């Protein structure tokens, strides 16, 4: 595992937020049987985790800016650094007592992603990377998979939820990928999907309609694990476009071509 001061700051903040999220998840499981459901409770858990992360990171790195799911953009006095924070990636999973979600923190320096931490508190899996220092899952160095043939690949995707739009495009893309790939999966957490590509559990992944906090940490980890990423149309800036396609060099290239071929 990387032991730099930066990664220590990030992992300490994430573990602090994870403690309350894990407790809250236990409450959510109990709330499934109630008529009102756990929606308001989950919103409060999300905000509480974001507040914990922000306070810990502000204390350790005063002046850094923030891009956050709940609180939006907060400009810092240090214009060269920004945290991209998703305190609960996989909110719908969490809401339903489905144990697959993560805390995601990425650091941008001078418009370059330089570090990422993604933590799955249920499985106790910490994905970590810092530019030039490699990518790790807990104490193990990770790399993208070596598969080069789409017919052997397990590919992740995102499916737009109610009110989001883009369903027709997704159906065309899903049809195009599923006839070529060994399998397609939808987990409900983009951050973990990208981390899974980084460690070889998935061979590729694509999704549209994302925000920077969904992708920033994952992109930093993926690139340090030898992965390639673009937006879903092959453009160079996933954060700006709000979409991603990723994998090892060969499968990333093929995935982008398949997605292009699925256009209406």
Tokens describing residue 205: 């992944």
69 among the known binding-site residues?
yes
Query: Exposed, middle or buried: residue 73 (CB in 10 Å: 0-12, 13-18, 19+)?
Result: exposed
86 among the known binding-site residues?
yes
Q: Map tokens 């071929």 to a residue.
A: 261
Q: Are strands 72-74 and 78-89 parallel, antiparallel or unpaired?
A: unpaired
Tokens describing residue 100: 């697959």
**Helix 249-261 and helix 167-178, axial crossing angle in degrees, nearest 10:** 130
* Strand ranges across the sheet with 154-157: 183-185, 154-157, 204-207, 244-247, 228-230
The helix (H) or strand (E) run that includes residue 151 is none
124 among the known binding-site residues?
no
Which backbone phi and psi does 243 adopt, to 5 degrees?
Answer: -140, 165
Assign residue 37 a region: left if phi > 0, alpha if psi is -120 to 50, beta otherwise? left
Residues 26, 19 contacting (CB under 8 angstroms): no
Measure the N-to-C terminal CA separation of the chain; round to a whole number of Å. 45
Q: Map tokens 């397990």 to a residue.
A: 154
* Strand ranges across the sheet with 102-109: 72-74, 64-68, 78-89, 102-109, 112-120, 125-130, 135-137, 140-141
Instruction: List binding-site positions.
Output: 69, 86, 88-89, 214
Instruction: List binding-site positions for Mg(2+).
Output: 69, 86, 88-89, 214
């Amino acid at each position: 595992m990387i032991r730099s001061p930066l990664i220590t700051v990030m992992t300490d903040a994430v573990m602090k937020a994870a403690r309350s999220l894990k407790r809250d998840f236990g409450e959510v499981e109990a709330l499934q049987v109630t008529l009102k459901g756990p929606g308001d409770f989950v919103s409060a858990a999300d905000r509480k985790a974001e507040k914990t992360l922000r306070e810990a990171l502000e204390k350790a790195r005063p002046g850094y800016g923030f891009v956050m799911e709940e609180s939006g953009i907060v400009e810092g006095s240090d214009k060269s650094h920004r945290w991209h924070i998703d305190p609960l990636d996989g909110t719908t999973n969490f809401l339903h007592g489905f144990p697959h979600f993560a805390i995601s923190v990425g650091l941008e320096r001078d418009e370059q992603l330089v570090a990422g931490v993604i933590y799955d508190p249920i499985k106790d899996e910490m994905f970590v990377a810092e530019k030039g220092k490699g990518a790790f899952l807990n104490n193990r160095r990770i790399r993208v998979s070596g598969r080069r043939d789409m017919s052997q690949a397990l590919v992740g995707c995102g499916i737009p939820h109610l009110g989001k739009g883009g369903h027709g495009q997704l159906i065309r893309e899903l049809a195009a990928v599923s006839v070529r790939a060994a399998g397609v999966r939808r987990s409900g957490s983009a951050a973990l999907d990208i981390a899974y590509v980084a460690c070889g559990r998935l061979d590729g992944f694509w999704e549209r309609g994302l925000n920077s906090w969904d992708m920033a940490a994952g992109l930093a980890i993926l690139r340090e694990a030898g992965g390639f990423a673009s937006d879903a149309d092959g453009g160079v800036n996933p954060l700006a476009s709000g979409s991603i396609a990723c994998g090892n060099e060969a499968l990333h290239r093929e995935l982008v071509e398949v997605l292009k071929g699925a256009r209406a």
